[in-house]
Amino acid sequence: MRKKTKILPTTEKQNSRSANIDRLSTSQIVKLINSEDKLVAPAVGKEREKIAAAVDMIVERFKKGGRLFYIGAGTSGRLGVLDASECPPTFGVSPLLVQGIIAGGKRALVKAVEGAEDKINDGITAIKKHKITKNDVVVGIAACGLTPFVRAGLKQAAKTGAGTIFVTCARQNSRNAPAQIIINPIVGAEIVTGSTRMKAGSATKLVLNTITTTAMIKMGKVYGNLMVDLKATNNKLRNRSVRIVRQLTALSETKAAGLLKKANGKVKAAIVMHFRNVDLSGALKILDKCEQSLRKAVRK
């Protein structure tokens, strides 16, 4: 009886276009990598309907007081933690709203933790530790689609009734993924065989950026294309806050800065104070009544 041939996941296949990459000049290598990178955005684009469905699931649960969790190992885990960590300064949300879970814990962010991705019990424990509920959403990230830590975490999350989403770049291992929504951008074999920090990593980052940015837009964190809920934690962001207030109110730089000071640095509140002629307390009440939508609050 013939032995069944094991099919390699897409992420482990050898790329024929880079088979002789070690013989190329520096310029030729860079050109080849760039040409492969051009395949990433179209691959993510093919998954846009699934990404939109994932966003709708997340927003629905956010409105019920739920949270978003990313769970992954290695590069996938780091990308989840990165995306989560950028939400508070960009959109002014609590660090608890979007959180990243990485196999091996915080030390795995800067150094590989051997075997962490294979520990099924750790994936289950991580979900229990964060007290995931039916109002939360858990996004599993695994470039190869097989990571035991991630799959176990998703299965545990499903038991709580949480929404589950799986992001993977391997077609073969996406079909039986333990998730309600599967986002599966196929970027093909990597330039360096199996090095998923490259095209698969880039595709994953695009997906995660799109998920959180779109969710925050739907939650009223953006007016036009301006980040009106940003936290001004440094000079660059403080200057940006003043520019946003100036742009939306037509005030001078001095008056915009003064208004922001009265609003305790809250851009959205400052704009409501200007247009509705109220103090900070009044502006915050108006925003609450308008579900934090600046557009509704200023009636524009």
* Strand, coil or helix: 171: coil
Which residues have a Cβ under 8 Å from the Cβ of 137 and sit 6 or more positions away? 57, 58, 61, 66, 67, 68, 69, 162, 163, 164, 165
36, 47, 117, 190: the active-site residue: 117
User: Which phi and psi angles does 162 have, rounded to 5°?
Assistant: -65, 155
Interatomic CA distance for residues 197 and 73, integer angstroms: 12
Structure tokens at 12: 């482990």
Q: Give yes or no: 117 in active site.
A: yes
Q: Give yes or no: 47 in active site.
A: no
12, 49, 60, 86: the active-site residue: 86
Structure tokens at 56: 């709708």
Concatenate the DSSP letters of all residues of 206-248 into one string. Answer: HHHHHHHHHHHHHTT--BTTB-TT----SHHHHHHHHHHHHHH
Concatenate the DSSP letters of all residues of 96-144 into one string. Answer: TTEEEEETT-GGGGTS--TTGGG-HHHHHHHHHHTT--TT-EEEEE-TT
Which are the catalytic amino acids? 86, 117
